[in-house]
Amino acid sequence: METVFISRFELLLDALAQEMEVYAPRCGAESSTFVRYDPKAPDGVAFNPARLCTPAKEFLFPLRERAAAFPHPLEPEAARPFAVMGLKDCDLKALRILDCVFLEDDEFRDPFYAARREAMFIVSSDCTEPTDSCCCVLFGGQVFPESGFDLNLSRIRDGYLVQPGSPKGAMFLSRYLDRFAGVPSAALTERQHERQKTTEQIERLNAAYRLDRKVDEIVQAGQDVPLFDEMAAECVECQACTRICPTCHCFYLFDTLDTDIFARMKMWDSCVRRDFARVAGGANPRQILGDRTRHRLLHKFVYFLERHGLYMCVGCGRCIDACAGGLDLRELLTQLNRERVSKGQG
């Protein structure tokens, strides 16, 4: 199956909705998120120009879920197929990162994540208008996906190009041939042109933040500078950055007594939380907030890279938007970079 053309966004949504639950983007003036799509009440669902405020991890790794039970063990079940629409390249790269942790582990696989991942049908799209905090280009990202999707949409003047990216996506398209048309002449050139335009836009947005060394080298070398402690002075420990982050995946298991059965809940946690690493008896390797802000960045840019060959950051900029203390990752890295240069390590 090759790339096809569709005139209206809803045509694809309705086709998807015939087969599975569909979550689609809804963008408001203040925020944007995925909503359950109901063909009878489309309710503001529309093509999103950039990533949404909320990350896609919630579809695979919900805020809280049951992970075990007693006395009768909890058997992981297959999940019902569902589609998520409106993911951008940064979102796809974030899923790739979560896969490294939850799926691609030769010893332990998270069966709940795996079941949902298996059931998830991914419809991504090219970015047309990056947000002010988008900084994917600083971390090797780009404004259009090339892999990691079932279908990818590119907006062109009169509609959308729909490109299959997996056998699942191609098969889906072949079931709805009547809704799609062949690619109009010059449409591929137009897509190329649009992609180029958005790339230039994101490059311009980030021109001031260009780093002259690899991010891991900058963070590693900047470990000892007081910047992390200065950063801590602005941080109010709300943990919004880790919750809104599409790649952060810390959690804890919490057991509760539910009459005569017990439930083990798996819930999001945050390494910014003071007692996150505290052990019984009171010892705490990261009692000081500056050590926690440092650990967060070291994990993202150094430790994860060492383990999986990827940065655990996709430059979506959600943490920049969410931070109650006004901290900006781009500025922090630029500053670390500058300190490095001024320390004569440039």
Partner 1 sequence: MIANPYQPLNATIIEVIDESPTIKSFVIEPEQPFTFDTGQFIELTLPGRGEAPFTPSSSPALTERMEVTIMKAGHVTGLLHECNPGQAVGIRGPLGHGYPVDAFVGKEVYIIGGGVGLAPIRSLLLTLIDRIGEFHRVVCRFGARTPEDFIYKPALFGPWQKINGLEITCTVDQANGQWSGPVGVVTEIVKPDDVDVNEAVAVVCGPPVMMKYVTLRLVEHGFAPERIYLSMEKNMSCGIGKCGHCMIGRYYACKDGPVFTFAQIRKYPNIWD
List contacts with partner 1 (CB under 8 A).
67-71, 73-76, 101-102, 105, 107-111, 223, 249-258, 262-264, 266, 269, 271, 276-281, 283-287, 291, 294-295, 298-299, 302-303, 306-307
Q: Of these partners, ligand SF4, ligand FAD, partner 1, none, which one is at the site of residue 130 (CB under 5 to 8 Å by kind)?
A: ligand SF4
336 is an interface residue for ligand SF4 by CB under 6 A = no
Does residue 202 belong to the site contacting ligand SF4 (CB under 6 A)? Answer: yes
The binding track of 276-315 with respect to ligand FAD, each residue x by CB under 6 A or -, is ----x-----------------------------------
Among ligand FAD, ligand SF4, partner 1, none, what does residue 202 contact (CB within 5–8 Å per kind)?
ligand SF4
**Cβ at position 233, least distance to partner 1 in Å:** 19
Binds 111: which of ligand FAD, ligand SF4, partner 1, none (CB < 5-8 Å by kind): partner 1
Q: By beta-carbon distance, which residue lies closest to ligand FAD?
A: 280
Under rule CB under 6 A, residue 51 binds ligand SF4: yes
Residue whose CB is less far from ligand SF4, 47 or 70: 47
Per-residue 3-state assignment (H helix, E strand, C coil) for the chain = CCCEEECCHHHHHHHHHHHCEEEEEEECCCCEEEEECCCCCCCCECCCCCCCCCCHHHHCCCCEEEEEEECCCCCCCCCCCEEEEEECHHHHHHHHHHHHHHCCCCCCCCHHHHHHHHHEEEEEECCCCCCCCCCHHHHCCCCCCCCCCCEEEEEECCEEEEEECCHHHHHHHHHCHHHCECCCCCHHHHHHHHHHHHHHHHHHHCHHHCCCCCHHHHHHHHCCCCHHHHHHHHCCCCCHHHHHCCCCCCEEEEEEEECCEEEEEEEECCCCCCCCCCCCCCCCCCCCHHHHHHHHHHHHHHHHHHHHCCCCCCCCCHHHHHCCCCCCHHHHHHHHHHHHHHCCCC
Is residue 255 a contact point for ligand FAD (CB under 6 A)?
yes
Interface residues toward ligand SF4, by CB under 6 A: 50-51, 88-90, 127, 130-131, 134, 136, 141, 143, 202, 315-317
